[in-house]
Amino acid sequence: MTPAPDPDPITALTLAHYNQRAEVFHEGTRDHDVRQNIDALLRHIAGEAPFTILDFGCGPGRDLKTFAGLGHTPIGLDGAERFVQMARVESGCEVWQQDFLALDLPAGRFDGVFANASLFHVPIRELPRVLRDLHATLKPGGVLFCSNPHGTNEEGWNSGRYGAYHDLETWRCHMAQAGFVELEHYYRPAGLPREQQPWLASVWRRAEVLRGKCA
């Protein structure tokens, strides 16, 4: 069996890729329509708005700006220094610079976590720990949204970035193992045949029942 990859160079090289291309990434994604994903998170959060939301992997701050414009209290988090700088300017929100593999999150702080196109950068062997960290930073009953490019449970380098590409059943297992209950899932972009929908979006509620390890 091939040894699992060392996460440290994976993080360093992936963050270097984003830091070097931050302006290009910003221009290429500023007009992406992810309101379907934002709505999916917000409609499942119980209680009265405004909500405190962690934008996990906030990039240059596009979605922070949207959440703030809707009256919520978003806080951004990204590992790329350049993205953190850009997000603070773009949104005016608080933004934390943290490596996904070395998180330091407050317990029970957030009503929701918005992980849009970010968790797939976590190597498979590190994923259970990262999901437990996100579980712990949610309030009881809090909601996690995630959207990742799906695949057949392979991981590796793709255009200078490291990615792990899960199928639905394996992703469900990881989430249940971390203490989440599924609320809904869908594929994006909407209205296209499945082979033209590279993104798997799913919404989860923090629970307390854990399962065994995924196969």
pLDDT digits (tens, 9 = 90+) for 51-60: 999 999 999 9
| CATH number attached to the domain at 7-206 | 3.40.50.150
Contact present, 74 and 88 (Cβ < 8 Å): no
Going along 92-137, which residue ranges are E strands? 95-97, 110-116
pLDDT in tens, 9-55: 888 999 999 999 888 867 877 778 899 999 999 999 999 999 999 99
Q: What's the pLDDT at 210?
A: 60
State how far Cα 97 lies from the chain centre: 15
Write down the domain spans for the chain.
Answer: 7-206
Place of tokens 């995630």: 146
Residue 122's contacts (CB-CB under 8 Å, 6 or more residues apart) are 100, 101, 130, 164
| The model's pTM | 0.92
Contact present, 44 and 205 (Cβ < 8 Å): yes
